Amino acid sequence: MPLISPLWAVWLLAASAAHPPRAAADPTIAAPSTESDGAAVRVLVDTVVIDRRGTWSAGSDQADLIPGAPGVLKKSIELQAKDARRTREAIEVEARLVPQVQELGGPACLLALSIETRAASAAAASDHGRGRSLGSVSSSLALKAGEERLVDAYVSPKTGGKVALRVRCDTARHEGDDQVDLVSIDLEVERRVEGESASILGDQQLVAMLGREVAVTVSDHTTLPADGDEARFRRERLDLAIAPVVVVAGKLQLEVRVNGDVSTVGGGDPAVPHPIDRSETFLLRPLEARTFEIVVPGGVQDGWSDLHYLIQVRTRF
């Protein structure tokens, strides 16, 4: 039987996000950030209805959401009873989903879900025109990649009809290949070493397409005190891959991956590389700067110790 009930759905993305606005960054590198932004997730919801007409779909909806910023899904549904009179009940279901920051290696997404069902109101949509509450449900969902969860939203005592939400998550990614979707990235790499003056190893302006990765290498050689009669130097190489992934609720998800190594060349001992492997994900407003720190301890045998790299990114989109 074709669906003739009026159905509508809309995702409302709240303007506020999990993190308050930050002060404008200084021209120099700021203190490293220790908080985790998490990552944007794509939330997919199928609204499933069971009533006189059998099991049918009231629509499939999706939205990209960032941790702490709620997505609201609204549906107007008419349920039909199996009695001879075909009793009808018009309801409004409102689901509020708030992603939480997920830990590395954890579930694909963590969602706080709250659902409220009300009797449909003939009045104009406003707080005063809302119908009486018919019930509410709250749940916390931890979903793995490809996993889905069916959550009961409402069971009608009037018609025997039932509404449930089938929820699943995916990775939020930019769709399309529009050449105008360009992101400017200011990258700065500062080095601080015990006993040496701080120095800027890299200060570059990069441009990347949204959804694509841009790569850059920063390297340096620094002369070290001789090991007896043997000259030696510190060899440094950092390979950075920076990907502007997606824009959600006015924020850009930026992924930064750093690989490389530091080693002492020369002297009486063979070079022992100190590997670097670090990944960070940020959710940035335009012109917001974010800094993270990589520490390479070193030691007496290396001729240096307490090596720090401060890596700052700032974007315009």
| Residue 7 pLDDT class (50, 70, 90 cuts) | very low
Q: Count CB atoms within 10 A of the CB of residue 153.
A: 25
pLDDT (average), residues 128-151: 90
Contact 294, 258 (CB under 8 A): yes
Contact 63, 95 (CB under 8 A): no
User: What does the alpha-carbon distance between residue 85 and residue 63 come to, in Å, rounded to a whole number?
Assistant: 39
Number of alpha carbons in the 13 Å side-chain half-sphere of residue 87? 10
Pure H helices in the chain: none
> Of 238, 220, 218, nearest to 304 (Cα)?
220
Query: Hunting for tokens 């308050």 — which residue is that?
Result: 20
Chain segment 167-199, per-residue pLDDT in tens: 999 999 998 765 568 999 999 999 999 999 999
pLDDT of 233 higher than 50:
yes
User: What does the alpha-carbon distance between residue 302 and residue 287 come to, in Å, rounded to a whole number?
Assistant: 39
Query: Hunting for tokens 């924020």 — which residue is that?
Result: 251
Please give the share of the chain, as a percent, with pLDDT higher than 70.
Answer: 85
Quote the pLDDT of residue 123.
56
Please give the share of the chain, as a percent, with pLDDT higher than 90.
Answer: 75
> What is the amino acid identity at position 295?
V
pLDDT of 103 higher than 90:
no
251 exposed, middle or buried (CB, 10 Å; 0-12, 13-18, 19+)?
buried
Quote the pLDDT of residue 256.
98
Quote the pLDDT of residue 27.
39
Q: What is the mean pLDDT of the chain?
A: 87
Inter-CA distances, 50 with 168, 219, 271, 279, Å = 20, 63, 69, 46
The token pair at 277 is 């492997």
pLDDT (average), residues 80-103: 94
pLDDT (average), residues 114-121: 95
> What is the amino acid identity at position 252?
L
| Residue 73 pLDDT class (50, 70, 90 cuts) | very high
DSSP string, 244-300: EEEEETTEEEEEEEEEEEEEEEESSSPP--EEEEEEEEEEE-TT-EEEEEEEEEEEG
Contact 69, 14 (CB under 8 A): yes
The token pair at 11 is 């995702």
User: What does the alpha-carbon distance between residue 265 and residue 305 come to, in Å, rounded to a whole number?
Assistant: 15
H or E, element range at 139: strand 133-143
pLDDT of 2 higher than 80:
no
pLDDT of 126 higher than 90:
no
User: What does the alpha-carbon distance between residue 98 and residue 133 come to, in Å, rounded to a whole number?
Assistant: 22
Contact 218, 182 (CB under 8 A): no
User: What does the alpha-carbon distance between residue 143 and residue 168 come to, in Å, rounded to a whole number?
Assistant: 7
Least reliable range by pLDDT among 111-120, 158-167, 209-218, 259-268: 259-268
Contact 92, 74 (CB under 8 A): yes
Size of the chain in residues: 317
Sheet holding 9-13, edge to edge: 9-13, 71-80, 88-100, 109-119, 133-143
